Structure 1
Amino acid sequence: MQRLDNVWLHCLHDHKNSVMAVQWNKNGNWLLTGSRDHVIKLYDVRMMREVQTFRGQALAWHPVHERLSVSGGGDGALGYWLVNNDRELALLEQAHDMAIWTLEWHPLGHILATG
């Protein structure tokens, strides 16, 4: 992580492959990272610590419910997650025939676009 004035704040080295997606949650306390290792990691940036790991590489925070995120995997599965809950809230195993590479919520949070 680095500031706009190009000062490095912290470097996270937990993935085993290239990180392809990063996203802050609404309150700025949590950061999701998605990698080609098919793992999504959740960091609490207040402590600079990994707090959860999910399967997948595509990710998106819900725009209204700040603890809710969604993950998309190379197998076409779509998972819904809550911060500090190690089990998926819901899993759609065949949401896509192939890999999910991108996810985006409608600003009101009632529709999820996947690709």
Structure 2
Amino acid sequence: MIATQRLLILCVVLPLIANAAPAALQKDMSFITARKLLLKEKWKPINVHAHDDYALMGVEHELAKRNFKEFDSCSIDYSNCIMRYKRGGECLTVFTIGEKIKYMKVVHWSDECPTEVY
């Protein structure tokens, strides 16, 4: 009975975990490479700040200049950025580190959605 319950849990939970993160996404992958893979996998950038007067700071200027509108926020002191994507009803939040786009690396990701999805 216990083995059957474990098998049932694995059959239900593992597909949910697998769908939560793109198969190609890896820790320490360059943000540019990760972004290309996400777009290829049909993840669409969420422009969190499309309807507000968000003041750009630090690497956000460079991201905006390159039309990478998916940033939610980037810290100045440690250059962490939060990037937001959606695909159908799924959300993907990618956390990066790096002071310049060419040096930005993926450090973590989750299926967290922004408060409002545009």
Same fold (TM over 0.5): no
Higher relative contact order by CA 8 Å / sep ≥ 6: 1 or 2? 2
TM-score normalised according to structure 1 size: 0.34
TM-score normalised according to structure 2 size: 0.34
Of the two, which has the highest radius of gyration? 2
Higher helix share: 2
